[in-house]
Amino acid sequence: MATEHTLSIIKPDATKRNLTGKINAKFEDAGLRIVAQKRIQLTKAQAGEFYKVHAERPFYDELCEFMASGPVVVQVLEGDGAIAKNREVMGATNPADADAGTIRAEFSESVGENSVHGSDAPETAREEIAYFFSGLEIVG
Ligand code: ADP
């Protein structure tokens, strides 16, 4: 399988509960390498731009408010098949449906406040990484 990069975000519900290290241990244990990382606070407008694909969804405003409600950790994960691997480690969007041992099953509080984001395809991974990082900031 090809080496890929994917964008991961540790969301405000998780940073507030001091879960950054526990969540990143799950990624590293699964063989993913953190090759870029920063802790930032998004504005609601920046969150809205990032999630603009969901602009028509009923939860869009709530999602943007939530993503701007506290610090997030944005990071690039690298590994064989990293896009799918990251989503596997994250678990289903709704923690009630997430497999045991996944991040969302263990740590998430609701379908909205679900602790992590992960890119869903190669093209979105490229776009999402470029939204937060320059090439110089990605060090494998
Ligand atoms: P994923 O993050 O698993 O790729 P989606 O792309 O479907 O899931 O949704 C993006 C984000 O929007 C979710 O991670 C979650 O934070 C939020 N979200 C999705 N569905 C709902 C919902 N029904 N109610 C509130 N927030 C939601």
Q: For the segment 84-109, what is each residue's pLDDT rounded down to a tens digit?
A: 999 999 999 999 999 999 999 999 99
The answer to whether the CB of 10 falls within 8 A of the CB of 19 is yes
Mean pLDDT, the chain, as a whole number? 98
Residue closest via CA to ligand 1's atom 11 equals: 112
Q: What is the longest distance spanned by two Cα atoms in the chain?
A: 39
CA of 120, closest atom in ligand 1: 4
Q: Is the model's pLDDT at 140 over the cut of 90?
A: no
Rounded distance from Cα 118 to ligand 1 centre (Å): 11
